[in-house]
């Protein structure tokens, strides 16, 4: 195994790349980045070369005017969500001013919003 200075913690790598640590874990699952595991603890370490490779890729994308696209939304799911939002808005309009949000959720869902 190369010297420890050739590796960064997830936190250090995420800070250098300007992303969240969970993003690095996700990229690993997708096969976009290779992370090393410490033998006994299993903690992840990010090779400095991987950070540099991703930085280069990110810079190339920015200079080429590449934009990150949001995932395509399922039209049926979006329509369903909009219908639910409309229903809840209509119910909120008719609420008595003395009813709290937690009381509303109790009647709407059959349980309280807060534990």
Q: What pLDDT, in 10s, does the model give residues 89-111? A: 887 777 767 777 777 777 777 66
Q: Does any domain span residue 69?
A: no
Q: Does any domain span residue 68?
A: no
Predicted TM-score of the model (pTM): 0.51
Distance CA 102, CA 96 (A): 13
Residue 15 has a pLDDT of: 94
Instruction: Give the total number of structural domains in the chain.
Output: 2
Residue given tokens 């250098």 in the structure block: 16
Both 49 and 88 in a single domain?
no
Q: Does any domain span residue 102?
A: yes
Both 40 and 80 in a single domain?
no
Q: What pLDDT, in 10s, does the model give residues 45-101? A: 999 999 998 888 888 766 555 555 545 667 888 888 889 888 878 877 777 677 777
Distance CA 97, CA 89 (A): 15
CATH number, domain containing residue 27? 1.10.1660.10
Q: Which residues, at least 6 apart from 1, have a Cβ–Cβ distance to it below 8 Å?
A: 36
Both 9 and 30 in a single domain?
yes
Alpha helices in 5-47 (DSSP H): 10-17, 21-29
Residue 1 has a pLDDT of: 46
Range of the domain at 18: 4-63
């Amino acid at each position: 195994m190369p010297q420890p200075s050739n590796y960064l913690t997830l936190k250090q790598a995420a800070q250098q790349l300007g992303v969240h640590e969970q993003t690095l874990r996700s990229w690993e699952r997708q096969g976009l980045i290779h992370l090393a595991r410490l033998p006994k603890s299993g903690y992840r370490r990010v090779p400095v070369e991987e950070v540099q490779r991703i930085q280069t890729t990110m810079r190339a994308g920015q200079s080429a005017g590449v934009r990150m696209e949001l995932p395509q939304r399922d039209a049926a799911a979006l329509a369903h969500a909009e219908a639910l939002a409309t229903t809840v808005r209509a119910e909120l309009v008719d609420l008595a001013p003395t009813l709290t949000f937690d009381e509303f959720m109790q009647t709407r869902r059959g349980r309280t919003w807060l534990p």
